[in-house]
Structure 1
C-alpha cells in the first residue's frame, strides 16, 4: 500500500526514515519478521519499470533539455531526483569550509543511480588505528559482519571473481563480464606498471537470483535504473518486495522534522511535514530506525530536542554530526592513438567498469595513511549531448607527420570527422580513497536558516588534511604511470598543490559517513556496536552514519550488511521486550 499523506492513529512496530540501502534493507528484514512497518520517504514513489518513470533505452535527442543537468544532476535520463542543490532546501558552510551535500528525493534514494560498485570492507579496514595510529578502530571486526555480507551477496547478487586478496575479501559471486577493448589496453598498461587488475564487483545480475528480477541485457545504462530490475536498487529489490510480503505502509513526500519522545526520553515516533499540504503530521511506533543518509539522520537527531535530550536525541556528549568524512576522489584521462578511427560495434556491457584495481600497497610505508582503489572508464558508450565539445582540446595533443599539433576541425564537416576519429579512443581512471576521520570535520544545526518546511538546516565544517592531499598526488602519479605504459596520450597538465592535486571537494563523491559513529564508550560515540543509540534504546541508525572509518571501498555493501545485522537485533530485542 502506497500512502501519499495520512495522519495515523495506529502505532507501528517500527518507523523507518529513508528508503535507500539502509532503510530499504531494514524494511525487508523487519516486515518479513511480521512487524508492522512505516517507511517515511522525503521524495516520490519510483519504479523504473513504469513508463512514466522509465529513462532507460531513450535516445539522447529525446531529452527535452538536450541532456542538461538542470532538473536531474547528472542529466535528464539519469535516475537521480535530488542533487547537491535543491530549491527550498539550503544548507550552509562554515568559514573556509568546503562541502557539497547530495540529497536524493525518491524511493530507493541514491541506489537508483549509483555505480553498483559492491565491495566488502576487509579485516584491516575495521582496525586501521592498529596500523597507522590514526582515528579509531571499529568496535566490531570483519568476522562480526562477514555472515551478513554473505547473505547480502546471495540476496541481491554481485558479480566478481575469487582472488584470495586478504583485505579485499571474496564473496559469493556471479560470473563477471569480460573486459572490453579499452579495458584490455588498461590491463596491458597496469601489468607493465606492476599494478593489479581484477574483475570488478558490481551488484548487477549476470545470472538470475529469483523470479522477480531479470538479468542484465548489457545496455550500459544502470545509471538510469533498470526496467527489468537487473541491477540493485533499494526500492525495487527491498522495499517493494517487503510491501508485497509484509505489512509496510509507504509515506511519500514526507520531510521528517524530528524524532518524538516521551517523558523517559524514549522514542515514540516521528513528526514530518507533508510536501503535499505543508501540514505537520505525527506517526507513532515502538522503534524508530533512521536511514535518511548520514547527514540527514544527524540533522533529524540534532533537531529532536526535548527535556530529556536538550542537545538533540542521542547527543548528550555532542558527538552527533562529528567525524563526518567522504571518499577522496581524483581523475585523469587520455587518448589511445591505437584506438582512433576504430570500427564501430556494440560495446556497451554493464553500466560500469568491467575491471578494477584494489588498493595494493597496504603496510608499504608511504607518506600518507590508508589508500585508494582505481575505477576505469572509456570505450564506445552511447554518445550523449555535449559529446564532441572537447574536440579542439583533444586535437592539440595529436601531432602531424612534422611533429606539429594538428589543426582543430572547428565545426560542421570538420567537427563530424573529428568525432568519428576520437570516438571510442578515450580512456580514463578515477581514484577513490579513504580519508582520515577528523573531529573538526562535522555538521551542525544552523539556527539562523530554515528550509521551506520550517526545519532548521545543516551547516558544514570540512577541510581536507595533508593526508588526503598526499594521497591525491599519489593517485596522479599512478594514473600517469598506467596511461603511459598503455601507450596513451595524457590529456591536460598534471595537477599540483595549487589545485590540491586535483582532489574533488568533500561531498562530491557522495560517500559521506561517520556522523553518528558507533563505539563501546558512550562518551566518544553515538551508537553501540548494534547501531543502537546510547542515549535512547529504541532509536537505531542504519545508513552510513555509524561508520567509524570508511575504507577505500564504496560504503553501500557495508551499509546493507550492517542494516541487516541491526534489524535482526531489533527483532530479538522486541521479542525479549527489552525495547
Structure 2
C-alpha cells in the first residue's frame, strides 16, 4: 500500500519518450509556447558531456576493451544505455515464437546509437496493397508527408544526392562523403551486373547548418554519439532546444505505468514510478502524447485499464499490440584479394556506409516475394580486430599467402601479426534490410502473471515470419553471391539454406519494430486517425513507429520524425480552435 503523489503544475502536454518521435513533439510544442512535461525512463544524457562521452577513446581505455555488456549490447563504447535484455525488466513469449525487444533507457533513446540511415518512404510504400494485394494501405499518401520530410531534412541535416528514382524520393541534401576504396570497387563492379550503387543518405553534417552544431570530422564513431553534435541524436538536436525554450520540464528515470483518465474517458496525465525512490507519482496534463516506441506505447495503453476501457485505453478496436512487424535482415561478408596487404592510411569516414543499394526490382513480379530490400555495405580500415575472414575455404583452397602459396591463416606470434596486417582493410560486408508484410497474428500483449521490478505488467510476444520474408532472405543471399562474384571476392563461410530460413534474423534484431497502434480511417480496425490522434480519446496522440501501417524497406526514423512534426502541428491548431 502506498500513496500516489500528485505533482504540480498541470501541463498543457505530457510526452512519454524522448526519442525521435517524442523529442520532435517536445521541440515543436514547446517552441509553440505550450507547457510540456517530457518523461524519460532513463537518465539524462548530453553527447558533449565529457564524463559520459566515449568518443575518441581507445579500446584499452575500457575495462572490457570495448566488449559488449548486458547494458551495452553493441559494445562498451556504444552510446545506447540498454539492450535486448534489461535487468529487472523482462518480457515473455508464447507458442514458442521469438521476438527480441531492444530498449534504450536514456534521453534521446535509440537515436544515440542508430545507424543514422535517413530514408524517406516513397509513394509506393504508402500504398503497397494496391500493388500486391497484401496488408493494408496507409490512409495517407507520400504527398501528405512530403512537406514534413522537407522540414526534417532542413532541421536535422542529411547528406545524399538527387537520383530521380521513383520510389526513393530526393530531399534537401548536404554533400555526401566520398566513397572509400572498397566502395569504389562496389560501384565499378556492380554496375556491370545492373545493381545500382548510389551515395548513402545519412544524418551526419558534412556542412555547417547552424551555430549550435559542429561538422562531422570523420572519426567513424557515430555510435558513440557526437561531442560536437555533428550527427543526429534526439538528445542534442531536439530535446536540448526544447529545454532551452523554458517551456519544458524533463523528468528522467521515470517509468510510466499508465495514462490516467477521467469519467468522460479523456486523458488527464500519466502515472509513473520514480526509479530512485520507487514511489509512484502522477503528472497532470490537458493532452498526452505517447512516443515510448511501438511496443512501449502499446504496453502503456494496454496497462491503462478502466471501467470505460477494460481492454486498455483507446483499444475499442482490439488491435493495440497487433500488426507488430520488424524489418527483415540477412548478411554476408567476403575478402577482396585485391585489397590484401593494403597501404595504411586514414580511411575512417562516417560510421557506416558512404554508398548503398536502394531496392531496384519494384517492377519484377516473379521473385517469390512481394516487397523489397535495400543493401548496406561495410568495410574499410576501421579500428583493427582479429578474426575477419581468417582460414575461410573457397573453391580454390585457402587464401593465398604473401608468397602466392595457399596457407591457413591464423596462429600466434609473428604469424598472427603477419595475418592481421595482411587482411586489414580487405573485408567487405553486405546487409540486406527489407520490408515484411504486417500480420494481425504478430503481436504483443500483457503477460497475465509477470511484472517488472517496478510492479508493472510486462509484454508477451507472439511472432512468426511468413514465406514472404523467408523467400526475401533467400533472394538477399543470392544477390550477395552475385555481388561477391562480380567483385572477384572470396566468400566467408557458406550460403545459408532453408534450415535457417536462409539466414533471416529473428524478429526484433533489426530494431525497426512498428505497427502496434496503426493509423486508419476506420476506428474498428485502427487505433489512431491519419493525424496520429487516437479514435477513442481525442486528447491522446501517438508519435512513434506504432502508427505505421507498413514499414517499407527503409529505416523508420525519418518517417517517425516527419509524422510527429505533422501531428504536433495538428495538435497546436486543434488547441487554438478549442477542439481539444
TM-score by length of 1: 0.97
3-state DSSP of counterpart to 1:516 = coil
The offset of 1:192, in angstroms, is 1.7
The answer (yes or no) to whether the contact 1:34–1:246 under 8 Å persists in 2 is no
Q: Tell me the equivalent position of 1:279.
A: 279
Listed as ranges, the matches of 1:495-574 within 5 Å are 495-574=496-575
Q: Partners in 1 of 2:452 and 2:346 — Cα distance?
A: 47
Q: Partners in 2 of 1:11 and 1:394 — Cα distance?
A: 66
Listed as ranges, the matches of 1:392-471 within 5 Å are 392-393=391-392, 397-399=398-400, 405-471=406-472
The answer (yes or no) to whether the contact 1:32–1:246 under 8 Å persists in 2 is no
Q: Partners in 1 of 2:406 and 2:275 — Cα distance?
A: 56
The offset of 1:403, in angstroms, is 9.4
The answer (yes or no) to whether the contact 1:189–1:483 under 8 Å persists in 2 is no
The offset of 1:416, in angstroms, is 1.1
The offset of 1:266, in angstroms, is 0.5
The offset of 1:45, in angstroms, is 0.4
The answer (yes or no) to whether the contact 1:36–1:248 under 8 Å persists in 2 is yes
Q: Tell me the equivalent position of 1:291.
A: 291
The offset of 1:96, in angstroms, is 2.3
Q: Tell me the equivalent position of 1:46.
A: 45
Moved over 2 A (4+): 387-397, 399-405
Listed as ranges, the matches of 1:186-225 within 5 Å are 186-225=186-225
Listed as ranges, the matches of 1:374-385 within 5 Å are 374-384=375-385
Q: Partners in 2 of 1:224 and 1:283 — Cα distance?
A: 33
The offset of 1:61, in angstroms, is 1.1
Q: Deviations over 1:144-182 (max 9, x none)?
A: 000000010001000000000110000000000110001
The answer (yes or no) to whether the contact 2:388–2:427 under 8 Å persists in 1 is no
Change (3 A) 1:403 1:382: closer
Q: Tell me the equivalent position of 1:129.
A: 129
The offset of 1:391, in angstroms, is 2.9
The answer (yes or no) to whether the contact 1:299–1:444 under 8 Å persists in 2 is yes
The offset of 1:409, in angstroms, is 3.2
Listed as ranges, the matches of 1:22-37 within 5 Å are 22-37=21-36
The offset of 1:405, in angstroms, is 4.5
Q: Tell me the equivalent position of 1:108.
A: 108
TM-score by length of 2: 0.97
Listed as ranges, the matches of 1:316-331 within 5 Å are 316-331=316-331
Change (3 A) 1:305 1:174: same
Q: Partners in 1 of 2:183 and 2:389 — Cα distance?
A: 22
The offset of 1:225, in angstroms, is 0.1
Q: Tell me the equivalent position of 2:474.
A: 473
The offset of 1:133, in angstroms, is 0.1
The answer (yes or no) to whether the contact 1:391–1:419 under 8 Å persists in 2 is no
Q: Tell me the equivalent position of 1:388.
A: 387
The answer (yes or no) to whether the contact 2:159–2:205 under 8 Å persists in 1 is yes
Aligned residues between the structures: 573
Q: Tell me the equivalent position of 2:146.
A: 146
Change (3 A) 1:233 1:305: same
The answer (yes or no) to whether the contact 1:388–1:415 under 8 Å persists in 2 is no
Q: Partners in 1 of 2:303 and 2:513 — Cα distance?
A: 20
Q: Deviations over 1:478-506 (max 9, x none)?
A: 11111110111111110010010000000
Residue 309, structure 1, aligned to residue 309, structure 2? yes
Q: Tell me the equivalent position of 1:77.
A: 77
The answer (yes or no) to whether the contact 2:290–2:542 under 8 Å persists in 1 is yes
The offset of 1:60, in angstroms, is 1.1
Structure 1: state its 5+ residue gaps.
none
The answer (yes or no) to whether the contact 1:332–1:476 under 8 Å persists in 2 is yes
Q: CA RMSD in A?
A: 1.5
The answer (yes or no) to whether the contact 2:298–2:321 under 8 Å persists in 1 is yes
Q: Partners in 2 of 1:569 and 1:407 — Cα distance?
A: 63
The offset of 1:447, in angstroms, is 1.1
Q: Partners in 2 of 1:496 and 1:467 — Cα distance?
A: 16
The offset of 1:6, in angstroms, is 8.9
Q: Tell me the equivalent position of 2:54.
A: 55
Q: Deviations over 1:449-477 (max 9, x none)?
A: 00000000000000100000000000001
